[in-house]
Amino acid sequence: MQTNFSLAQLADSDTAESEKILRKCVHCGFCTATCPTFVLLGDELDSPRGRIYLIKEMLEQAKPATATVVKHIDRCLSCLSCMTTCPSGVNYMHLVDHGRRHIEATWRRPWADRWLRQLLAVVLPRPQLFRAMLLLAALARPLGPLLPARLRAMLAMAPVLPAARSPVDRPQVFPAIGARRRRVALLSGCVQTALLPSINEATIRLLTRHGVEVVVAEGSGCCGALTHHLGKEAPALASARANIAAWLAEAEGEGLDAILVNASGCGTQLKDYGFLLRDDPAWAAKAARVAGLSRDITEFMAELGLARPVAGSGLTVAYHSACSMQHGQQIKTPPKTLLAAAGFVVRDVPEGHLCCGSAGTYNLLQPEIAARLRDRKLANIATVAPDLVAAGNIGCITQLASGSSLPILHTVELLDWATGGPLPPILRDARFARASG
């Protein structure tokens, strides 16, 4: 694609990067077929190619964002399905991130939108505050039908009561059981610790049982993805720097073989730290080092090897591959290989490349499109008649669970159970309890 930036514009690092990305696009349109919003809405401006044109025009003209640009960029899930499909290697992720930052800097949203986005940016990365909000949501539940669509969507996603803080989500070291084979840091995260603390608990049991020492490092916290996708760069980079400092202190102390992540949305963010901080001389090299150490828990376990299964054998698991897992990190087989090695019968979900509608805060900001994608995903899951659904991202788990009575679990909860851990809390009914024997 031809571009028309001035030399002065190209002196800006973000613009120079976006220009390189734009020049790779050959307008072929292959990406439109696998874009969830184009599949649903059928509008070229809701396709990757259409959005690329909108961003190009906005950046080239160095003008404030327009209502049209904001509408169609806001509707993008950042699912990155287009990046998997693109034959020319267009890095849509970095381009749309730049577009979002430009919108944030130049477009004044209606006050309700501004208020909601600010609320999400402040509350979600802070587990204590998020728990308090979940409690308020539980109290407000009876008012649900009277509230506007976005607040109704938030209430629908909230659990009946927030989970208590797990003792594992504090800075500490979990020694390996038996001889120590590896030493890792675990990103304990933010939203996940308040919604499903059982995921970190299962992760730590699974790792220590396999001879891995696990550190929850003092000073580590939210990865920054939630604020990053809202176009709020300063808090996103502050989160990245805090994590990098915390993990490098561990790496330079007792050493780290990896930094593990059990929420693939966060994993995609960590692996991009090097790019995000590339222009900061004090942090660029450190960020690249942390990005290089970052692994999804299933990548790590697939290399380490799984102990012989003792429970769960024979249950049919529909594996839902989160977009951040399959498109953001291109991790496709390890979770399924591990589940099969643990004795489960693993089924792929038809249209598996399409997003479930979760996409960070998307299901809260675009509830109608998100609900259509969720229902489509659940209908596809139903065709494989599973006993359970496994996914590697808290957002997908919450999104799918909001419309289904099937047990939706994190992959590590199943791997932990199968190799000697307790029955996952969601499976505590007679049928699954029998399988644990």
Judged by beta carbon, residue 49 or residue 241, the one nearer ligand SF4 is 49
Helices (H), 256-305: 264-271, 273-276, 284-293, 297-304
**CB of residue 88 vs ligand SF4: minimum separation in angstroms?**
4
Judge contact between 336 and 346, C-beta under 8 A.
Answer: yes
Tell me which residue of 370, 366, 365 sits closest to 396, measured CA to CA. Answer: 370
**DSSP string over 359-404:** TTTHHHHSHHHHHHHHHHHHHHHHTT--SEEEES-HHHHHHHHTT-
**CB of residue 311 vs ligand SF4: minimum separation in angstroms?**
37
**CB of residue 30 vs ligand SF4: minimum separation in angstroms?**
4
Judged by beta carbon, residue 77 or residue 195, the one nearer ligand SF4 is 77
Burial 114-131 (b: 16+ CB within 10 A, else e): eebbeebbebbbbbeebb
Tell me which residue of 391, 326, 394 sits closest to 360, measured CA to CA. Answer: 394
Judged by beta carbon, residue 100 or residue 205, the one nearer ligand SF4 is 100
Tell me which residue of 339, 358, 356 sits closest to 347, measured CA to CA. Answer: 339
Please name the residues in contact with 159: beta carbons below 8 A apart, sequence gap of 6 or more: 134, 138, 195
**CB of residue 1 vs ligand SF4: minimum separation in angstroms?**
7
**CB of residue 89 vs ligand SF4: minimum separation in angstroms?**
8
Judged by beta carbon, residue 78 or residue 419, the one nearer ligand SF4 is 78
**CB of residue 96 vs ligand SF4: minimum separation in angstroms?**
7
Collapsing DSSP to helix, strand or coil, 223 comes out as coil
DSSP 175: P
**CB of residue 92 vs ligand SF4: minimum separation in angstroms?**
5
Q: Which residues pair with 391 in a beta bridge?
A: 320, 410
Judged by beta carbon, residue 82 or residue 116, the one nearer ligand SF4 is 82
Give me the half-sphere count of Cα atoms (radius 13 Å) on the Cβ side of residue 140. Answer: 19
**CB of residue 90 vs ligand SF4: minimum separation in angstroms?**
4
Residues that bind ligand SF4 (CB under 6 A): 25-31, 35-37, 48-49, 51, 76-82, 85-86, 88, 90, 92
Residue written as tokens 């109290």? 139
**CB of residue 359 vs ligand SF4: minimum separation in angstroms?**
8
Judged by beta carbon, residue 72 or residue 286, the one nearer ligand SF4 is 72
Judged by beta carbon, residue 260 or residue 355, the one nearer ligand SF4 is 355
Judged by beta carbon, residue 265 or residue 424, the one nearer ligand SF4 is 265
The angle subtended at Cα 131 by Cα 130 and Cα 137, nearest 5°, is 90
Task: State residue 182 phi and psi, 5-degree precision.
Answer: -150, 160
Judged by beta carbon, residue 77 or residue 207, the one nearer ligand SF4 is 77
Judged by beta carbon, residue 35 or residue 339, the one nearer ligand SF4 is 35
- Please state, in angstroms and rounded to a whole number, the distance separating the CA atoms of residues 387 and 408: 10
Burial 343-357 (b: 16+ CB within 10 A, else e): bbebbebeeebbbbb
**CB of residue 415 vs ligand SF4: minimum separation in angstroms?**
29
Task: State residue 188 phi and psi, 5-degree precision.
Answer: -80, -20
Q: How many residues does the chain have?
A: 437
Judge contact between 118 and 235, C-beta under 8 A.
Answer: no
